[in-house]
């Protein structure tokens, strides 16, 4: 039978193979392997947003990139994670995650409000703005970091500009709210330097390095011990907001400060800021492939941009629900995302979901938050994973059952 089968497989002009040829040279399959391509596309990609506000003393994420491990785990669960520099920056440290979008805080608010769309990119040309108030030795250190990222990481940092006058950064803690804040005395000088880079080098993103006043070491003791507030963070956000609002391109800030004296009493949460001369590496890495910001319109929709309506879940500290972005997501009327509040992450704010009348899922910690996201992505009610959290289904309105009215409070069994 084998020989007969082999004869039937031959072309008329071919001689039949020998028995050994038939065994050692099997006929190649003409049918492609069965795949489950359709099943893989049965659901759209799951997108999550992780927010930890800047300069509010967050227990997790209020220091030197100490929320980055959470972003790493979350990015392994979701298809796309959107977060901001305060979560993803760790001074001299960073972690590349191909499915994470590095979005500046002002842009994230506009995105949440449905005004801007996020356009993924392969690469941005990054420009660097240095404060004219930076001393020569610190300026050289920052330029060496830029060159190192170009040579060792291949980052497209194309040119730098120096402001025409010192920015004169000021910082302080708001006595009413407890948040860090501040100002720059010469914002026009900053905007002019950015404009020069945009026009001359057609940069797609800008890193800014402002010279911050040096603190007394005693004033930083709490922060270095992993408690208190990052006093630099508030005005850093003001600087990046200013650039993004004016030019609608990705921007992040790295402060230039004098190195602090060595201490053995240092929290791991603050240690990333003590291992080098600048905080610039993470900023350049993040900006190199940050999404572009487009005004939401038919053109941006045609470019495959990500919209606020694509967001499936938002993760926040328990008392930080009052930001523009958080409120926009929570009050969305179309494809409202699941809002998850983490009780273990507390800030100096008091913007709780109960106070603001927002419906959220409260979890004890980020372990639970990631579990809720995993269940939500799987299309499973997270409550079904808990003991006695699924109650009898309720009737929305009065109906007739067996001739009797069933009230809205009754259960259907």
Note the pLDDT of residue 37. Answer: 42
**What confidence score (pLDDT) does residue 401 get?**
54
What is the CA 363 to chain-centroid distance, rounded? 20
Arithmetic mean of pLDDT, 356-374: 97
CA Rg value for the chain: 28
Give me the mean pLDDT over the 346-351 stretch.
Answer: 96
Cα distance between residue 99 and residue 115, in whole Å: 23
Instruction: State the Cα–Cα distance between residues 46 and 48, nearest whole angstrom.
Output: 7
Kindly give, in sequence order, each residue whose CB lies less than 8 Å from that of residue 162, ignoring residues fewer than 6 positions away: 129, 130, 131, 132, 139, 193
pLDDT, tens digit (0-9, with 9 covering 90-100), for 164-220: 999 999 999 999 999 999 999 999 999 999 999 999 999 999 999 999 998 766 668
Which of 134, 399, 174, 398 is closest to 254 using CA atoms? 134
Phi first, then psi: give them for residue 98, nearest 5 degrees. -65, -20
At 141-156, the pLDDT tens digits run 999 999 999 999 999 9
How far is residue 281 CA from its own chain's centroid?
Answer: 17
Question: Confidence band (pLDDT; 50, 70, 90) for 396?
Answer: confident
Tens of pLDDT, residue by residue over 6-45, are 434 444 444 555 545 544 555 544 445 444 444 456 678 9
The pLDDT value given to residue 263: 87
Q: Helix H segments across 153-293? A: 187-201, 221-224, 233-247, 280-287
pLDDT reading at 139 higher than 90: yes
Look over the chain and give the mean of its residue pLDDT values, rounded to a whole number.
88
**Bridge pairing between strands 116-119 and 361-363:** unpaired
> What percent of the chain clears pLDDT 90, i.e. is strictly above it?
73
pLDDT given at position 5: 42
Pairing of strands 399-401, 411-412: unpaired
Residue 359 has φ and ψ, to the nearest 5°, of: -85, 120
266-287 per-position pLDDT tens digit? 999 999 999 999 999 999 999 9
233-255 pLDDT tens trace: 999 999 999 999 999 999 999 99
Residue 4 has a pLDDT of 43
Q: Which residue has the higher pLDDT, 17 or 61?
A: 61
The pLDDT of residue 35: 43
Residue 407 has a pLDDT of 47
Residue 365 has pLDDT above 80, yes or no: yes
d(CA 226, CA 268): 8
Q: What is the C-alpha to C-alpha distance for residues 142 and 278, in angstroms, rounded to an integer?
A: 6
Q: Which residues pair with 180 in a beta bridge?
A: 173
Q: Which of 66-75, 200-209, 254-263 has the lowest mean pLDDT?
A: 254-263
Q: Report the predicted TM-score, pTM, of the whole model to 2 decimal places.
A: 0.85
**Strand 338-342 with 292-295, pairing:** unpaired
Give the per-residue pLDDT at 399.
58
pLDDT (0 to 100) of residue 313: 98
3-class DSSP state of 18: coil
Reply yes or no on whether the pLDDT at 366 is more than 50.
yes
Residue 170: CB atoms within 10 Å: 13
């Amino acid at each position: 039978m084998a020989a007969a089968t082999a004869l039937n497989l031959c072309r008329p002009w071919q001689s039949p193979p020998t028995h050994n040829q038939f065994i050692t040279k099997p006929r190649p399959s003409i049918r492609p392997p069965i795949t489950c391509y359709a099943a893989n596309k049965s659901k759209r990609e799951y997108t999550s947003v992780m927010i930890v506000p800047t300069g509010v003393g967050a227990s997790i994420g209020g220091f030197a990139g100490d929320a980055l491990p959470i972003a790493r785990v979350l990015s392994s669960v979701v298809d796309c994670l959107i977060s901001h520099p305060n979560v993803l920056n760790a001074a001299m440290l960073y972690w590349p995650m191909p499915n994470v979008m590095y979005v500046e805080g002002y842009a994230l608010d506009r995105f949440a409000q449905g005004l801007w769309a996020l356009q993924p990119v392969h690469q941005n040309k990054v420009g660097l703005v240095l404060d004219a108030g930076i001393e020569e030795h610190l300026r050289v250190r920052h330029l060496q970091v830029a060159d190192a990222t170009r040579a060792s990481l291949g980052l497209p940092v194309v040119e730098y500009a120096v402001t025409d006058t010192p920015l004169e950064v000021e910082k302080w803690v708001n006595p009413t709210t407890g948040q860090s804040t501040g100002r720059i005395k010469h914002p026009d000088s900053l905007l002019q330097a950015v404009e020069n880079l945009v026009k001359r080098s057609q940069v797609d993103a800008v890193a800014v390095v402002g010279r911050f006043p040096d603190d007394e070491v005693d004033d930083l003791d709490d922060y270095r011990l992993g408690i208190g507030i990052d006093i630099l963070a508030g005005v850093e956000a003001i600087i990046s907001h200013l650039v993004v609002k004016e030019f609608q391109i990705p921007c992040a800030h790295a402060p230039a400060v004098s190195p602090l004296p060595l201490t053995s009493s240092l929290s791991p949460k603050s240690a990333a800021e003590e291992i080098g001369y600048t905080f610039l590496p993470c900023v350049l890495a993040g900006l190199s492939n940050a999404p572009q910001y487009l005004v939401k319109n038919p053109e941006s929709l045609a470019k495959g941009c990500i919209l606020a309506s694509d967001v499936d879940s938002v993760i926040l500290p328990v008392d930080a629900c009052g930001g523009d972005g958080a409120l926009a997501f929570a009050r969305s009327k179309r494809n409202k995302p699941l809002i998850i509040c983490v009780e273990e992450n507390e800030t100096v704010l008091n913007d709780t979901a109960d106070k603001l009348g927002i419906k959220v899922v409260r979890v004890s910690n980020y372990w639970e938050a990631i579990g809720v996201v995993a269940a939500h992505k799987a299309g499973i009610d997270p409550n079904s994973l808990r003991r006695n959290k699924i109650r009898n289904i309720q009737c929305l309105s009065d109906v007739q059952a067996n001739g009797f009215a069933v009230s809205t409070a009754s259960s259907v069994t």
